[in-house]
Amino acid sequence: MAYQKCINCGSEYGIDEIVYFCKKCGDLLEIKYERSELAGALKKSQWRDAPLSVWRYRDFMPISDPSRIVSLNEGGTGLHLCKRLAKHLGIRQLYVKNEGENPTGSFKDRGMTVGVTKAVELGVKSVICASTGNTSASLAAYAAKAGLQCAVLIPSGKIAYGKLSQAMIYGAKVIQVRGNFDQALDVVLKLSEKHRSIYLLNSINPFRIEGQKSLGYEICDQLNQEAPDRIVVPVGNAGNISAIWKGFTEFHELGVVKSLPKMTGIQAAGSAPIAQAIKNGMDTIVPVAAPETVATAIRIGAPVSWKKAMNAIRESHGTAETVTDAEILDAQKTLARVEGLFVEPASASSIAGLKKLRENGEIDKDERVVCVTTGHGLKDPDTAVKMSEKPVEVDAEITAIEEALGLKKQIAVLAR
Ligand code: F0G
């Protein structure tokens, strides 16, 4: 039987207990399984034959009744071999795991399918989260599918337009908070403690992390049960890097995969408490009071899962790096133009981070690297339009088009 366990003091809680932080020491919880339970799941033959998706791994998830699963067909995203970008960055082999291919356009759907299924199992009627955008879009969609009431708190004026439109159209109660994400999360934590009937689905909820660990399982399966040398992940509230690591360590303990990847977290320079702590060899983070970056998804100064993320980075002998807004936007453009993959700015930070770590020699040219791109480019069309060349406007007339395409000059040269 699966149970919840404190990552600090080891206190245990039942799988159906609604508890967000350890009651004894206040630290984060994670889902644990009896070893025999996971080993049993591994032996069941069906999962290897099932199509790639989060629910291919249902026997490794803490969900008891498969008939109540709330799914929009999440997971099974492409692991794109990027030969042209690899050459550009001077790396032996580079894959991009493109999470923008999920139903609401981000990796959050992996966590929400499990988190909202758990909400249904628990019999709650309303769900809530604070979000920089993608979590709210995802929760709103899964709550709609499950027929649950949904409220989302977002930092006023600081979420990308695509994400806002999603939360609104899926019918969530959208509350814009005058403040940043950290303040919105703080208030939603207090609210869900006070109103116990409202179920909190931020990534402190360990059922979210269970869904997201499928990202690790999937990368492993897509590489024919091999681990890459390194996985580079954008880090915000720090749930995802911890989840991917959990997926890999579980598969490693079960003998599915023989080695483990170095987990490498990338943060935006203006919101980088974890990267700073790793670089300075510190045991805790110093929260950033006023985080700032063009990558609004990771504009977070006090990541709630910082301890899990730092454990993942240190246990895996990985590292962390910061990237500037200019480096993020440059990487976003390069990925789109060299590989045809349009991702949102926060996602491109993994590519920008790889470039930086290659240039400073921390990543070797012979490594096999997977960069995770976490959200679709259409989430934030404003930034993409702002940084691209403006379209030209001409009359619907052939000579005007020839001029715009520079064909007239070519004809003149040929005629000479
Ligand atoms: N990339 C994107 C596109 C995100 O939306 C987020 C987080 C991250 C990376 C960072 O992931 O928090 O697990 O370290 N977005 C959250 C949200 C905070 O509210 O949508 P993390």
* DSSP assignment of 235-282: -SSSHHHHHHHHHHHHHHHTTS-SS-PEEEEEEEGGG-HHHHHHHTT-
- Taking residues 342-353, what's their average pLDDT? 98
- Taking residues 21-40, what's their average pLDDT? 94
pLDDT at 100 over 90: yes
Q: Whose CA is nearest to atom 15 of ligand 1?
A: 297
416 pLDDT tier (thresholds 50, 70, 90): low
412 pLDDT tier (thresholds 50, 70, 90): low
Contact 382, 160 (CB under 8 A): yes
377 touches ligand 1 (CB under 6 Å): no
- Residue 410: the pLDDT is 66
- Residue 20, classified by CB atoms within 10 Å of its CB into exposed (0-12), middle (13-18) or buried (19+), is middle
282 pLDDT tier (thresholds 50, 70, 90): very high
Residue with the bigger pLDDT between 260 and 36: it is 260
Residue 276: name the closest of 263, 261, 286, 264 by CA.
286
Q: What is the best residue among 96, 132, 152, 264 to mutate for testing ligand 1's pocket, by most ligand atoms within 8 Å of CB?
A: 132
- Residue 415: the pLDDT is 65
Ligand 1: nearest atom to the Cα of 130: 19
240 touches ligand 1 (CB under 6 Å): yes
User: Using CA atoms in the order 57, 204, 317, 328, what is the torsion angle rounded to 10 degrees?
Assistant: 100
- Taking residues 92-104, what's their average pLDDT? 98
- Residue 64: the pLDDT is 87
132 touches ligand 1 (CB under 6 Å): yes
Contact 102, 124 (CB under 8 A): no
Q: State which H helix or E strand residue 352 sits in.
A: helix 345-359
Residue with the bigger pLDDT between 408 and 354: it is 354
Cβ partners under 8 Å of residue 13, min gap 6 = 3, 4, 5, 19, 23, 29
CA of 224 to the centre of ligand 1 (A): 28
The pairing of beta strand 230-234 with beta strand 262-268: parallel
The per-residue pLDDT of the chain, averaged, comes to 96
Residue 270: name the closest of 369, 331, 346, 348 by CA.
346
CA of 141 to the centre of ligand 1 (A): 17
Q: What digits encode the pLDDT tens for the residues 107-120?
A: 999 999 999 999 99
Q: What digits encode the pLDDT tens for the residues 146-202?
A: 999 999 999 999 999 999 999 999 999 999 999 999 999 999 999 999 999 999 999
CA separation for the pair 213, 249 (Å, rounded): 10
CA of 133 to the centre of ligand 1 (A): 8
CA separation for the pair 138, 378 (Å, rounded): 15
Cβ partners under 8 Å of residue 190, min gap 6 = none
Q: Whose CA is nearest to atom 8 of ligand 1?
A: 236
Count Cβ atoms below 10 Å from residue 271 Cβ, excluding itself.
27
Ligand 1: nearest atom to the Cα of 237: 12
- Residue 250: the pLDDT is 96
- Taking residues 324-348, what's their average pLDDT? 98
CA of 393 to the centre of ligand 1 (A): 37
- Residue 1: the pLDDT is 83
347 touches ligand 1 (CB under 6 Å): yes
349 touches ligand 1 (CB under 6 Å): no
CA separation for the pair 240, 186 (Å, rounded): 19
- Taking residues 90-116, what's their average pLDDT? 98
In degrees, rounded to 5, the angle at the alpha carbon of residue 132 between the alpha carbons of residues 130 and 136 is 55
Contact 229, 158 (CB under 8 A): no
374 touches ligand 1 (CB under 6 Å): yes
> Which amino acid, 307?
K
Q: What is the best residue among 108, 110, 298, 323 to mutate for testing ligand 1's pocket, by most ligand atoms within 8 Å of CB?
A: 298
CA of 235 to the centre of ligand 1 (A): 7
pLDDT at 264 over 90: yes
- Residue 312: the pLDDT is 98
- Residue 4: the pLDDT is 98
The 3-state DSSP class for residue 66 equals helix
- Taking residues 239-249, what's their average pLDDT? 98
- Residue 411: the pLDDT is 64
- The percent of residues above 70 in pLDDT, for the chain, comes to 98
Residue 411, φ and ψ in degrees, nearest 5: -60, -40
The 3-state DSSP class for residue 370 equals strand
Which of 157-166, 323-332, 346-355, 402-411 is predicted with the least confidence, judged by mean pLDDT? 402-411
- Taking residues 265-286, what's their average pLDDT? 98
Cβ partners under 8 Å of residue 370, min gap 6 = 79, 94, 95, 96, 97, 219, 228, 230, 231, 232, 261
327 pLDDT tier (thresholds 50, 70, 90): very high
Q: Whose CA is nearest to atom 19 of ligand 1?
A: 131
